[in-house]
Amino acid sequence: MTHPTETTATADDPFLWLEDIYAEKGLEWVRAENALTEDALLTPGFEARERGILEVLDSTDRIPMVGKHGDFYYNFWRDAEHRQGIWRRTTWDSYASDAPAWELLLDVDALSAAEGTEWVWGGALFLRPAEGAPHERVLVVLSPDGGDAARYREFSLATLDFVDGGFDIPTAKSRIGWAGPDALHVGTDFGPGSMTSSSYPRTVRTLRRGGDLASAEQYFEVDVDHMMALVAHDSTPGFERDIAVDTIDFYTRRTYLRQDGGWHLIEVPEDASISLHREWLIVRPRTDWTTEGTTYRAGSLLVIGLESFLAGGRSFTTVFSPDPSTSLQSWSWTRDYLLLNLLRDVSSEIRILDPGKDWSAELLDACPPLHSVDAYAVDDEDDAAGNDYWLIATGFLTPSTLHRGTIGGEHTSVKSSPSYFDEDRFTVEQHFAVSDDGTRVPYFQLAPKDLVLDGGNPTLLSGYGGFEHSMTPAYSGVIGRGWLERTTEDGRQGVYVLANIRGGGEYGPQWHHAALHANRHRAYEDFAAIAEDLMQRGVTSPALLGCTGRSNGGLLVGNMLTTYPHLFGAISCGVPLLDMRRYTKLSAGYSWIAEYGDPDKPEEWEYVQTFSPYHLLRDDVAYPKTLLWTATSDDRVGPVQARKMAAKMKDLGIGDVWFHEALEGGHAGAADNRQAARMHAMSFEFLWRALTGSL
């Protein structure tokens, strides 16, 4: 179809002042817009629904997911009592019981109160202990505002306190790992020239205990226009090694192995994903790869002995090869087996491969249709549990369950999530729409069992379509309470639809490649085709169809707003990319050129402008009601794109435009459950009232 374009020059952009994130003028504008939106949406009914969503997020009956380190199982937990969360651990027998006894390791609420900083948990990096010794040291990662920039602090599991004089790396967009008991590999902001154009570390230094960060010895560096430098130490006994990764962009990288005092390139295609596991090198090419006369298909998984490869061997074993319906999503090693998590038409399939029997494969019987099931190792180095695996199963109407099993034996349920809405009233179906170029595009429909196909049902269409990220079935009490259980005056309940459009990874790298750069429009055509299919099937009509998306999904629904406004009655656009002329200059945007293209190259701006919502806005189009929402502290996409879009829409005289910006929360839009509940409730409230005529 023909795409309207408006090539407003950057110099003529009247809303550049909103790009100064913390300038008082911009924040005054934000506060004024927030007040208008809150006045419209925050009714007593809204507050009741918000409480219902917060009950889901704060529920103490949720599965406390754990990671095993040594003899303990570690968990981070948030609820109403612990708004910022607690880090804790327990034993297996305790965890498997109905009432685990947790040992408190770190109370982030108490830490925040003591230090006067609203810390947001970012994880913990464990140091491998000496053989036979318990885990004692970790690096705790904490963000001061929920953004990507974080502080790394050494913590003792013996004293349950931060180590006096221990490692403490100041807040920055860092990539850090243990180099040994008394050293770290540190990629961080060392000052001018140490960060890439994508705002990530360009250099990695080795910091010795007691040493000064500024004078630490440089160990690895990448070009400034590459995305990021990273060094990781593999401490597996018998396979100790340093690995460096030069991430050129989101999909290309060079991986090096430290040998004989220098870095040696592992010679595989730059667009391949690789990993090292003990004696094995694992490669997943993203495009077809021909080596030594053999062509390996994009999306396949290849294995070879590392020593053989380094000696020049290229006799890979193909342990997975995709077909038109089946793609590899992830893999995990137990002590003696390799687990593959696959999608077959967006339903899970799990295979167990035995390298001791020429990589023979068996199916794990644990995957019902239209469900998502993931398997991964519990602890491949544990003498007793080396071949144990976790199994997490979920579906739109199936609360998540956590199982534990042993390869060759049975798996049993360990924990189950509670029910948060009346699932028996609904049914799940998978349908396929036909896009403009004839491609069949799957989508899931979650609807009442008594759905009347007369076009009269309020329907919410959600999607993402980028970065090879797959959208899979998952239980959500938030969607159940926030959307499905709402009822119109004539008794209609909400319908929820999840799109599996190109740009994602549902069918492997080919599905992703199909919507890159100049072909970006295919993702949007797929989404629009699903909208049209819902109408042709009688599920809904344009006035009753809303759509929602975040981040790249925000760009998706921004294009629905500007290119397909006739298909939707309301759009909720969260933490979005929208100004594709300047996205490479805002926050981490430079790192996404591999996905979208470079607007500073005239030949690429020719196609990038066709999916830049900020430049596609016109004053003679009837647009759907629109909510744009973001977070001040989002240092990945940043709040300025949503700000500028809202300001421009209002300046053009476009009505029914609302804007809201959380003053903290990072790219997730929320730093705790309370903020997340407000964000979810506001989006659902806006969409429901906009579609049903009460806004």
For residue 177, give the nearest of 120, 142, 128 by alpha carbon: 128
Backbone angles phi, psi at 353, to 5 degrees: -105, 140
Q: Cα torsion for 167, 170, 171, 175, to the nearest 10°?
A: -50
Q: Helices H, strands E: what count in the chain?
A: 14, 39
3-class DSSP state of 369: coil
Q: Is 403 a catalytic residue?
A: no
Residue 673 to residues 63, 88, 482, 685, Cα–Cα distance (Å)? 16, 18, 15, 18
Strand arrangement, sheet containing 570-574: 426-434, 440-448, 495-499, 459-462, 545-550, 570-574, 625-631, 657-662
Structure token digits, residue 56? 């889901």
Name the one residue in this structure whose structure tokens are 């913990």: 124
Cα torsion 330, 333, 337, 340 to 10°: value is 0
Q: Per the residue annotation, which of 400, 667, 680, 683 is the catalytic one? A: 667
**HEC per residue, 241-294:** EEEEEEEEECCEEEEEEEECCEEEECCCCCCCEEEEECCEEEEECCCCEEECCE
d(C-alpha 197, C-alpha 591), whole Å? 8
Angstrom distance (rounded) from CA 472 to CA 556: 18
Token pair of 171, please?
């807040």
Single out the residue of 687, 488, 660 nearest to residue 575, CA to CA.
660
Catalytic residue among 327, 332, 347, 551: 551
Measured in degrees and rounded to the nearest 5, phi and psi for residue 475 equal -75, 135
Contact status, residue 280 vs residue 313, Cβ threshold 8 Å: no
Tell me the CA distances in angstroms from 98 to 94, 108, 305, 391, 631, one per residue in order: 8, 25, 44, 19, 38
- Identify whether the C-beta of residue 558 lies closer than 8 Å to the C-beta of residue 645: yes
Q: Look up 143 and say whether it is catalytic.
A: no
For residues 587 and 638, give the distance between their C-alpha atoms in angstroms, rounded to a whole number: 6
DSSP 354: E
> In whole angstroms, what is the distance from residue 349 CA to residue 368 CA?
9
Residue 140 CA to residue 137 CA, distance in Å, equals 10
Give catalytic residues, as residue numbers.
551, 667
